[in-house]
């Protein structure tokens, strides 16, 4: 049976552009709109989950149950600063220690009337923040500082913060 080499590892698409500092003509998430938006009030709330190796136990369909525990919640506000209603695809990127610079971990697309503001919420699960340990064949949520960005595309990320685990 044939196989794939994957010599590029996880550095495909926007991750490769980030790694090699390539400025794409149209970045991931690029879109046109008849209005404009402003991002503000980034908040990162850590929940009680602790960094540790992924626990053993009963495996259910879809993996270990606590792989889907919410580790942190990220919120921000998106204001329509234009004169017509529009929808904005707010994107959440996370920088996991020892992994590609940025990884898309969520998006929300609220419809916002002119002059109005929408609160956008992203829940980050243990899986969203973990890396696969191929030797142990388990997920690892490692302690450290995780960079968090929110914006309209992989290149337009006006909000930045840090999640400490």
User: CA dist 87 to 24, 37, 102, 157, Å?
Assistant: 23, 9, 24, 17
Domain assignment of residue 149, yes or no: yes
Q: How many structural domains compose the chain?
A: 1
Residue-number span of the structural domain to which 84 is assigned:
14-164
Domain assignment of residue 50, yes or no: yes
Token representation of residue 58: 């009963």
The end-to-end CA distance of the chain, in Å, is 42
Largest CA distance in the chain: 58
Domain assignment of residue 9, yes or no: no
pLDDT tens track for 146-162: 999 999 998 899 999 99
Count of C-beta atoms within a 10 Å radius of residue 126? 22
Domain assignment of residue 112, yes or no: yes
pLDDT tens track for 20-72: 777 777 776 677 789 999 999 999 999 976 555 555 555 666 667 778 889 99
Domain assignment of residue 26, yes or no: yes
Domain assignment of residue 104, yes or no: yes
Strands 117-125, 70-80: pairing kind:
antiparallel
CATH number at residue 57: 2.60.40.10
pLDDT at 142: 86
CA distance 112 to 81: 10
pTM (2 decimals)? 0.81
Reduce the DSSP state of residue 18 to 3 states and report it: helix
Give residue 137's pLDDT band: very low, low, confident or very high (50, 70, 90). Answer: confident
Domain assignment of residue 7, yes or no: no
Domain assignment of residue 113, yes or no: yes
**Residue 150 backbone phi and psi in degrees, to 5:** -135, 135
């Amino acid at each position: 049976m044939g196989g794939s080499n994957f010599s590029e590892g996880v550095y495909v698409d926007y991750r490769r552009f980030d790694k090699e500092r390539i400025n794409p003509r149209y970045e991931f998430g690029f879109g046109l709109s008849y209005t404009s938006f402003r991002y503000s009030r980034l908040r990162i709330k850590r929940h009680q989950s602790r960094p540790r190796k992924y626990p053993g136990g009963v495996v259910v369909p879809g993996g270990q149950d606590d792989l889907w525990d919410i580790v942190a919640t990220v919120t921000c506000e998106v204001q329509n600063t234009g004169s017509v209603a529009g929808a904005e695809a707010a994107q959440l990127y996370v920088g996991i220690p020892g992994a590609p610079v940025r990884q898309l971990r969520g998006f929300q697309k609220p419809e916002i009337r002119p002059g109005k503001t929408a609160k956008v919420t992203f829940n980050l699960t243990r899986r969203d923040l973990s890396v696969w340990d191929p030797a142990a064949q388990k997920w690892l949520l490692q302690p450290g500082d995780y960079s968090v960005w929110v914006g309209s595309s992989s290149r337009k990320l006006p909000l930045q913060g840090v999640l400490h685990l």
